[in-house]
Amino acid sequence: MITYLKKSDARPPAETANVRDTVAIMLANIERGGEDAARDYAAKLDRWDGAIVVTDADRAKAIASVPQALKADIQFAHNNIRRFAEAQKATMGECEVELTPGHFAGQKQIPVSAAGCYVPGGRYSHIASALMTITTAKVAGVQHITAVSPPRPGEGIPAAIVYAMDLCGADTILNLGGVQGVAAMANGLFGTPKADILVGPGNSYVAEAKRMLFGEVGIDMFAGPTDSLVIADDTADPELVAWDLVGQAEHGPDSPVWLIATSRPLAETVMARAPQLIETLPEPNAAAARVSWAERAEVILCDTREEMATVSDEYAPEHLHVQAADLEWWLGRLSAYGSLFLGEETTVPFGDKASGPNHVLPTSAAARYTGGLSVHKFTKTVTWQRCDQNASKALAIATARISRLEGMEGHARSADIRLEKFFPNEEFDVRP
């Protein structure tokens, strides 16, 4: 039996027509006005009137200002992310198969030529997003990587983010945030090539800009507010569970957190403890977590682990943390999540910052049909084929008949002419 001990009382998101209209106008203005329009938006929205392109000298100055201990932490995270991306790439094979004698087909893996990586920089300086996006693109073999992030007035992109971007292999860094940053990468402004794909998280305006540009360019995914779900049985530590939920609630008031449990005492302890822990956070983190917990958090009581797994798959969370016995069973059973964290020894923040697997993940139940950012997103799986004259005979006959049955006479004749050229002394019945 499934029982909701706490149910979300948040209303569905308000109509986003104003966001769409604003973004559409901005994209049109930047497409028409180019770099001047992007600069105007940077001055208006980011209060930035300095250089847009971060020069080599600017990079060196920023890198020199980053404390060595922080550099070491960023290097540690970068190494894990790079090695995991390299392991992913190793699974991407090319192939060739002889389907019939003389008829060969295959597939190749070709990285996109140019990628645009958006690194958020609003309330939080997302160093980890630079690591996740740029490193993965670099490992995939992308030839040119442009990275953008909102500049701070009088400062530009924070030095630690510049250091991370440089470490990961960004070819060009732009002091641009929001829609203007996304549009600059899509349009190839400030000396950059037009991006083939745009990746990275951002606010609702950034997400809408990517959505509108999809088709002209590729994107990693349509991103909504981050979400997190914890599965806990009676072996779980309620203090750890409570902190793991609170830690994700701090993302913002629109970010839901969910607990699925088989133990009522554990669930009730977590429900009592979470608000207390939120009050120990600094502001504005506490304010964001307070609203998230009050309006969007849910606590669900189940009778069995199978019931828990079923409910979890229905939610298809971005982050899924299992704090329960028999972790191998959960690894084999669960099927809908962005990234899975097994056991109390790990936690979602490890994955958000440093552990290796990518933190750009599907939200809003999109994990039902897609995974997160990986080297695969920067790579085109393309196919090829060739055949000798003998192999072309059977293909031409079948193609001609199928084409005529479909009413596509031009297709049929492209097949017919090969029969006439390669087999002039033979007759073929290519009627449907």
Please state whether the peptide bond connecting residue 101 to the residue before it is cis, i.e. omega within 30 degrees of 0: no
- CA–CA gap between residue 359 and residue 354 (Å, rounded): 9
Residue indicated by tokens 């207390």: 276
Q: What's the Cα-to-Cα distance from 370 to each of 30, 55, 212, 255, 316, rounded to whole Å?
A: 31, 37, 20, 20, 10
Which is nearest to 360 in space by CA: 348, 351, 346, 372? 372
Cβ atoms within 10 Å, residue 111: 19
Q: How far apart are CA 8 and CA 256, in angstroms?
A: 9
Catalytic residue from among 126, 251, 319, 359: 319
End-to-end, the C-alpha distance of the chain in Å comes to 58
Distances (CA, A) of 217 to 133, 212, 394: 16, 10, 39
What token pair was written down for 189? 């402004």
307: annotated active-site residue: no
Residue 62 token pair: 């920023």
**Which class for 431: exposed (0-12), middle (13-18), buried (19 or more C-beta within 10 A)?**
exposed
Tell me the backbone φ, ψ of residue 422, rounded to 5 degrees: -90, -25
Q: How many whole angstroms separate alpha carbon 136 and alpha carbon 396?
A: 43
- Residue 187 CA to residue 36 CA, distance in Å, equals 13
Q: Which tokens sit at 15?
A: 């109509």
Catalytic position from the list 318, 321, 376, 420 = 318
Q: Which residue has the tokens 């072996």?
A: 235
Residue written as tokens 């990587």?
145
Residue 319 designated active-site: yes
Catalytic (active-site) positions:
318-319
